[in-house]
Amino acid sequence: MSGQPCFIADVMLGTLAKWLRILGFDTLYFKNIDDSELIKIAKQEQRILLTRDTRLVKSKKVAEHILVKANDTPGQLKEVLKSLPLAPHGSSTCPLPLPFTRCAKCNGGLKFVDKASVSGDVPEHVFLNFDSFLRCKNCGKVYWEGSHRKLIDGQIRKVLGEIDTHWKISEND
Protein backbone atom coordinates (compact mmCIF):
# COMPACT_ATOMS: atom_id res chain seq x y z
CA MET A 1 0.00 0.00 0.00
CA SER A 2 1.40 3.36 -0.93
CA GLY A 3 0.17 6.75 0.11
CA GLN A 4 -2.90 7.29 2.17
CA PRO A 5 -5.32 4.37 2.25
CA CYS A 6 -8.73 5.06 0.78
CA PHE A 7 -11.85 2.98 1.18
CA ILE A 8 -15.16 1.92 -0.20
CA ALA A 9 -17.63 0.66 2.39
CA ASP A 10 -20.42 -1.83 1.75
CA VAL A 11 -24.07 -0.91 2.40
CA MET A 12 -23.98 -2.17 5.98
CA LEU A 13 -21.18 0.15 7.04
CA GLY A 14 -22.62 3.65 6.60
CA THR A 15 -21.78 4.94 10.06
CA LEU A 16 -18.27 3.58 9.89
CA ALA A 17 -17.83 5.36 6.53
CA LYS A 18 -18.93 8.63 8.16
CA TRP A 19 -16.46 8.22 11.00
CA LEU A 20 -13.60 7.46 8.61
CA ARG A 21 -14.43 10.61 6.64
CA ILE A 22 -14.38 12.69 9.82
CA LEU A 23 -10.90 11.35 10.46
CA GLY A 24 -9.92 12.44 6.94
CA PHE A 25 -9.94 9.13 5.07
CA ASP A 26 -11.25 9.21 1.51
CA THR A 27 -14.20 6.83 1.91
CA LEU A 28 -16.91 6.08 -0.62
CA TYR A 29 -20.29 4.84 0.52
CA PHE A 30 -23.46 4.22 -1.46
CA LYS A 31 -26.76 3.32 0.13
CA ASN A 32 -27.79 1.25 -2.85
CA ILE A 33 -25.07 -0.57 -4.72
CA ASP A 34 -24.74 -4.15 -5.80
CA ASP A 35 -21.75 -6.31 -5.02
CA SER A 36 -20.27 -6.38 -8.51
CA GLU A 37 -20.36 -2.58 -8.77
CA LEU A 38 -18.78 -2.28 -5.32
CA ILE A 39 -15.94 -4.59 -6.33
CA LYS A 40 -15.52 -2.84 -9.66
CA ILE A 41 -15.09 0.61 -8.09
CA ALA A 42 -12.74 -0.80 -5.45
CA LYS A 43 -10.51 -2.20 -8.19
CA GLN A 44 -10.68 0.78 -10.53
CA GLU A 45 -9.88 3.32 -7.83
CA GLN A 46 -7.61 1.06 -5.79
CA ARG A 47 -9.77 1.38 -2.72
CA ILE A 48 -9.75 -1.04 0.19
CA LEU A 49 -13.15 -2.70 0.37
CA LEU A 50 -14.68 -2.61 3.84
CA THR A 51 -17.28 -5.33 4.19
CA ARG A 52 -19.16 -7.44 6.69
CA ASP A 53 -19.98 -10.02 4.06
CA THR A 54 -17.81 -13.13 4.40
CA ARG A 55 -19.39 -14.69 1.33
CA LEU A 56 -18.62 -11.68 -0.82
CA VAL A 57 -14.97 -11.83 0.10
CA LYS A 58 -14.76 -15.56 -0.59
CA SER A 59 -16.84 -15.90 -3.71
CA LYS A 60 -15.82 -12.95 -5.83
CA LYS A 61 -12.53 -11.60 -6.92
CA VAL A 62 -12.03 -9.06 -4.21
CA ALA A 63 -8.63 -7.48 -4.11
CA GLU A 64 -7.60 -5.58 -1.01
CA HIS A 65 -10.26 -5.71 1.67
CA ILE A 66 -10.89 -5.63 5.37
CA LEU A 67 -13.51 -8.00 6.73
CA VAL A 68 -15.23 -6.07 9.48
CA LYS A 69 -16.52 -8.28 12.28
CA ALA A 70 -17.56 -5.97 15.10
CA ASN A 71 -21.22 -4.99 15.35
CA ASP A 72 -20.64 -1.59 16.93
CA THR A 73 -19.09 1.34 15.11
CA PRO A 74 -16.28 1.99 17.63
CA GLY A 75 -15.28 -1.68 17.36
CA GLN A 76 -15.43 -1.50 13.56
CA LEU A 77 -13.29 1.62 13.45
CA LYS A 78 -10.74 -0.07 15.67
CA GLU A 79 -10.59 -3.10 13.38
CA VAL A 80 -10.01 -0.96 10.31
CA LEU A 81 -7.36 1.27 11.85
CA LYS A 82 -5.57 -1.69 13.39
CA SER A 83 -5.21 -3.39 10.04
CA LEU A 84 -3.48 -0.38 8.50
CA PRO A 85 0.23 0.18 8.96
CA LEU A 86 -0.51 3.65 10.27
CA ALA A 87 2.28 6.02 10.97
CA PRO A 88 2.34 9.37 12.71
CA HIS A 89 1.55 12.53 10.81
CA GLY A 90 4.40 13.54 8.54
CA SER A 91 5.86 10.05 8.26
CA SER A 92 6.24 8.62 4.80
CA THR A 93 5.22 4.97 5.24
CA CYS A 94 1.46 5.20 5.57
CA PRO A 95 0.63 8.75 6.49
CA LEU A 96 -2.44 9.53 8.52
CA PRO A 97 -4.86 11.88 6.92
CA LEU A 98 -5.72 15.09 8.69
CA PRO A 99 -9.02 14.99 10.58
CA PHE A 100 -11.74 17.42 9.50
CA THR A 101 -10.55 17.69 5.92
CA ARG A 102 -13.51 15.78 4.48
CA CYS A 103 -17.25 16.13 4.57
CA ALA A 104 -18.85 13.48 6.78
CA LYS A 105 -21.95 13.59 4.61
CA CYS A 106 -20.52 13.21 1.09
CA ASN A 107 -16.73 12.63 1.28
CA GLY A 108 -16.00 15.96 -0.47
CA GLY A 109 -12.98 18.05 0.49
CA LEU A 110 -13.42 20.90 2.97
CA LYS A 111 -11.95 24.36 2.60
CA PHE A 112 -11.79 27.34 4.92
CA VAL A 113 -14.21 30.08 3.96
CA ASP A 114 -14.86 33.67 5.02
CA LYS A 115 -17.20 34.09 7.92
CA ALA A 116 -19.37 36.44 5.89
CA SER A 117 -19.98 33.74 3.27
CA VAL A 118 -21.68 31.34 5.71
CA SER A 119 -24.17 33.87 7.03
CA GLY A 120 -27.58 32.30 6.46
CA ASP A 121 -26.13 28.79 6.17
CA VAL A 122 -25.59 28.27 9.90
CA PRO A 123 -27.79 28.99 12.93
CA GLU A 124 -27.51 32.56 14.19
CA HIS A 125 -25.95 31.59 17.54
CA VAL A 126 -23.26 29.69 15.66
CA PHE A 127 -22.54 32.64 13.41
CA LEU A 128 -22.21 34.91 16.43
CA ASN A 129 -20.02 32.57 18.46
CA PHE A 130 -17.58 31.13 15.93
CA ASP A 131 -15.13 32.71 13.52
CA SER A 132 -13.62 29.77 11.69
CA PHE A 133 -15.73 27.94 9.12
CA LEU A 134 -15.16 25.17 6.59
CA ARG A 135 -17.37 24.45 3.61
CA CYS A 136 -17.63 21.23 1.61
CA LYS A 137 -16.47 21.83 -1.95
CA ASN A 138 -18.92 19.21 -3.16
CA CYS A 139 -22.22 19.56 -1.29
CA GLY A 140 -21.75 22.95 0.38
CA LYS A 141 -22.32 21.78 3.95
CA VAL A 142 -20.73 24.13 6.48
CA TYR A 143 -18.68 22.92 9.45
CA TRP A 144 -17.39 24.88 12.41
CA GLU A 145 -15.48 24.21 15.58
CA GLY A 146 -18.58 23.29 17.54
CA SER A 147 -19.87 20.89 14.91
CA HIS A 148 -16.48 19.19 14.81
CA ARG A 149 -16.42 18.71 18.52
CA LYS A 150 -19.81 17.09 18.35
CA LEU A 151 -18.74 14.77 15.51
CA ILE A 152 -15.50 13.65 17.06
CA ASP A 153 -17.27 12.53 20.15
CA GLY A 154 -15.93 10.57 23.06
CA GLN A 155 -16.33 7.25 21.27
CA ILE A 156 -14.01 8.06 18.37
CA ARG A 157 -11.54 9.66 20.74
CA LYS A 158 -11.51 6.53 22.88
CA VAL A 159 -10.83 4.27 19.89
CA LEU A 160 -7.96 6.47 18.75
CA GLY A 161 -6.52 6.43 22.26
CA GLU A 162 -6.70 2.64 22.42
CA ILE A 163 -4.88 1.95 19.18
CA ASP A 164 -2.05 4.39 19.81
CA THR A 165 -1.82 6.01 16.41
CA HIS A 166 -0.08 9.09 17.75
CA TRP A 167 -3.17 10.81 16.54
CA LYS A 168 -3.52 14.14 18.15
CA ILE A 169 -7.05 15.36 18.42
CA SER A 170 -7.26 17.84 21.21
CA GLU A 171 -10.43 18.60 23.09
CA ASN A 172 -10.52 21.86 21.18
CA ASP A 173 -10.36 20.48 17.68
Which positions touch Zn ion (CB under 5 A)? 103, 105-106, 108, 136, 138-139, 141
Maximum Cα interatomic distance, the chain, rounded to a whole number of Å: 55
Name the burial class of residue 67, with classes exposed (0-12), middle (13-18) and buried (19+) by CB atoms within 10 angstroms of its CB. Answer: middle
Minimum distance from residue 103 beta carbon to Zn ion (Å): 3
Q: What is the DSSP letter of 53?
A: -
CA distance 88 to 119: 37
Amino acid type, 54? T
Minimum distance from residue 135 beta carbon to Zn ion (Å): 9
Q: Is 77 helix (H, G, I), strand (E, B) or coil?
A: helix
Nearer to Zn ion, 66 or 136 (CB): 136
Nearer to Zn ion, 16 or 159 (CB): 16
Minimum distance from residue 29 beta carbon to Zn ion (Å): 12
Minimum distance from residue 125 beta carbon to Zn ion (Å): 23
Nearer to Zn ion, 63 or 139 (CB): 139
Nearer to Zn ion, 83 or 138 (CB): 138
